[in-house]
Structure 1
Amino acid sequence: MIPALPNRPLYEPEADTLTEEGPIDLVAPGSPESVQEDEGGTQRIHDLLIFIDETVAALAYTDKEHGWTLIAKETDENDDAYQLAHDQLLEYRGCDGLGRKEALKRAVIKLYGLPEEAIEANPEELVSLGEE
C-alpha cells in the first residue's frame, strides 16, 4: 500500500480515489494535523486512516526523505482496530489529548471547509467513527 502512494501528501481527490480501486473500504483523515495547506494554499492530506475488511491502518506523511510511514496496523479481534490505530496516530502527531471524536471532527472541518456549527448540528454523522 505505501509504495503505491506518491512521495508527498495527497490531494483530497487522490485520497477519494483510493477506495475506487482494490480492497480499500474507507479512507479518512485522522487528526487535526492531517489536513495542511501547501505553499499555494491547496489543502493536502498528511495522515490517513485506511479501512480494509477488519483491518485499520494509520499512515502519516513525514517528509520527502521518509515519505509515508505506517504508524499502526490493527485487526478487529475485539472490534477495536479503529480505536487502537486512531489512538496511535493521535499520539504520533501529539494530538492524543483531544480524543478520537474531537480529532476527527477537526480534521473533517479543515478538509471540507465546513463551519463547526454544521458539524455540531449533525453529530450523528460522526458517531460511528468518533465513538470514544
Structure 2
Amino acid sequence: MVKGLPDRPLSHPEAASLNQSDSIGFVFPATPHSIRDDEDNEGSIYDLLITSGESVSALVYDEDKGWKVVTKTSPDNPKEAAINDVIEYRGYDIEDEEKVLKFVTELYGALDELSQME
C-alpha cells in the first residue's frame, strides 16, 4: 500500500484516483488538519484513511521517512480508532474531535452506500 505512493504528500486528484483501485475501498483525508497548503496555495494531503474490506488503515506522510502506516484497525470500530491514532501520532490540537469523528463516520457511510449502488 505505502510502496505505491509517491515520496511526497498527495494532491486531491491523486487521492481521488486511488479510489478507482479495485483493491481499495475509499481514500480520504483523516482530519481537517490532514490537508495543508503548499507553495502554490494548493492543498496537499498528509494523512490518509484507506478502507479495504472491513478494516481502515491510517497513513501519515513524514518529510524524512515518507509514508508510514500508523494503524490498521479491526472491524469493531475502524474509523474512529484510525482517526484517533492519526490525531495522537501527529499531536493535532483538534478543538472538537467529536465533530471530526462524526464527519468522517458520515462520509464513510455515504461512500459505502455509493459503492453498494454500483
Range of TM-score over shorter length: 0.7 to 0.9
In the alignment, the residues of structure 1 paired with residue 105 and residue 58 of structure 2 have an alpha-carbon distance, to the nearest angstrom, of 19
State the TM-score, normalizing by the size of structure 2: 0.79
Contact 1:87/1:96 (<8 A) preserved = no
Q: Which residue of 2 aligns with 1:12?
A: 12
In the alignment, the residues of structure 2 paired with residue 35 and residue 50 of structure 1 have an alpha-carbon distance, to the nearest angstrom, of 15
State the TM-score, normalizing by the size of structure 1: 0.72
Aligned residue pairs total 108
Q: Structure 2 regions of 5+ residues with no counterpart?
A: 109-118
- Cα deviation for residue 104 of structure 1 reads 7.4
Contact 1:29/1:104 (<8 A) preserved = no
Match of 1:102 among 60, 79, 100: 100
One-letter code aligned to 1:3: K
Structure with a larger share of its residues in helix: 2
Contact 1:86/1:100 (<8 A) preserved = no
Contact 2:37/2:43 (<8 A) preserved = yes
In the alignment, the residues of structure 2 paired with residue 81 and residue 69 of structure 1 have an alpha-carbon distance, to the nearest angstrom, of 18
Match of 2:88 among 86, 91, 100: 91
Contact 1:33/1:93 (<8 A) preserved = no
CA offsets 1:4-41 (integer angstroms, 9 cap, x no match): 00000001000001110231111111123211111121
Contact 1:30/1:104 (<8 A) preserved = no
In the alignment, the residues of structure 2 paired with residue 58 and residue 41 of structure 1 have an alpha-carbon distance, to the nearest angstrom, of 25
Segments of 4+ moved more than 4 angstroms:
none
1:60 is paired with a residue whose SS is strand
Q: Which residue of 1 aligns with 2:31?
A: 31
One-letter code aligned to 2:56: V
In the alignment, the residues of structure 1 paired with residue 98 and residue 59 of structure 2 have an alpha-carbon distance, to the nearest angstrom, of 16
Q: Pairwise mapping of residues 1-132 of structure 1 onto structure 2 (< 5 A)?
A: 1-63=1-63, 65-76=64-75, 78=76, 80-95=77-92, 97=94, 98-102=96-100, 128-129=106-107
